[in-house]
Chains A and B, each alone.
Chain A
């Protein structure tokens, strides 16, 4: 591989993952550290601060080591093999980060026990009875634009079928050479709209999930916390809706490239640019909002001794929520930003399997439709 291609590959994969995990201990709620619930009053405890710093440092150092190894490997390998190997390296990197996380998760748990942080804390849970009617998402009507784009992409393929050359380039490598060429067929014009439809489904699901997840209200300052939750969801719903739209447009551009309206040279840089912009926007938004808006400043907040629902026992490794008693299908994540499912509810597990099935369908589609 050429040096430019290697650097590009590296920038796409390792840099965002490193940044995302390195900032994770800093964008959560003050009542949680490494997936363990703590009273917000001890959040700035010296030992916890040290652990956060050490975690970020380990993530960065591991990232650098992994990249050096990748650089060396990629240098000797040809492009296709290198790209295949890269997913393996990325996966390995995430496994290593998980190991570091679990070590810290256990350490905080021990510290909590030793210091008796749970023992002398009041454990409360708060519900906002009007949260379900708060304005916490951009209009669902934006999804109509999705439908217009998908139908437009499909119609474009059908109406302009004549113009498609007998062979089209499906994929180019980072050096700009065609790496996959397929013969013209009717299934080719179905490719982009099918992927778009699946993406629309996933975006719709995330949008819906964000509305359904019960908000976590800080008992120390319920009004501020509730407003933060609302703002957090509103901003992320806008991100989801418009990110999805951008991705749909990328696949529209793919259709345009097939037809020959858009130059082939753009077909590599446009998706890469869009992916880069999306990742940067997500990181900025995560830093800006914090988990469930905990970093959105809406007034003076105070730390205290209250632990919000000390439900550590339901959180395996602080990452997997299993609570059969809780009717919630989705819950707020404890480390990082976003939501996860309640593995104690069969419906939630079914939804998760459904999502994987949908992703599986995309993969199969991309093989079958564009053989």
Chain B
């Protein structure tokens, strides 16, 4: 399936982060299946006319998270779900990452139920795009 990687050059979110998020979203929404290949670092950098380091960084972090295998010549290939299945460590990281958001929500007086429904909404929106 064709996926478009669209980056906003004026955004405060770093470009490598935007690319990373887009690819993870592609996998979450099943636009990218296991075994599917992504453009090489050089090709994607040329397509977006950004520095190659930017793409390397995005791919490197995706590889670390288990989403991609990066081959020198073949480019990047999407891993099967078993490679990035959630484990204890992931849940710990997730909890840690959510902490600042939860803290701010608490400050602003958001109740636990409300907090949960906001989280659910974000999650279900992705499921909807998946077509379930």
Q: A residues engaging B (CB < 8 A)?
A: 122-132, 214-215, 217, 219, 222-223, 226, 309-311, 323, 325-328, 331
Contacts and interface: CB of A to CB of B under 8 A. Distances in A.
22 contacts: A123-B9, A124-B9, A125-B47, A125-B49, A126-B48, A127-B44, A128-B2, A128-B4, A128-B47, A129-B2, A129-B5, A129-B44, A130-B1, A214-B49, A217-B4, A323-B49, A325-B50, A325-B51, A326-B51, A327-B45, A327-B52, A328-B46
A249 B52 CA distance: 44
A71 B3 CA distance: 57
Interface in B36-80: 38-39, 42-52
Contacts of A219: 6
Given A132-B39, A311-B49, A328-B49, A123 B10 contact: yes
Contact of A132 (B5, B9, B43): B43
Nearest to A134: B2
A327 B43 CA distance: 8
A122 B8 CA distance: 7
B7 interface: yes
Nearest to B48: A125
A223 B4 CA distance: 8
For the side of the interface on B, what is the size category? 20 to 34
B46 A214 contact: yes
Interface of B: 1-10, 38-39, 42-52
Given A214-B43, A327-B45, 7 more contacts: A124-B7, A125-B50, A129-B39, A130-B2, A222-B4, A326-B49, A331-B49
A131 B9 contact: no
A125 B51 contact: no
Contacts of B43: 132, 214
B6 A126 contact: yes
B6 A125 contact: yes
B33 to A, nearest CB: 12
Contact of B47 (A124, A215, A325): A215
B9 A309 contact: yes
A299 B6 CA distance: 21
Nearest to A130: B2
For the complex of A and B, 8 pairs with smallest distance between CB atoms: A328-B46, A127-B47, A123-B9, A214-B46, A222-B4, A130-B2, A214-B47, A127-B5
A310 B49 CA distance: 11
A236 to B, nearest CB: 19
A280 to B, nearest CB: 34
A326 B52 CA distance: 8
A91 B46 CA distance: 34
Contacts of A226: 2, 4
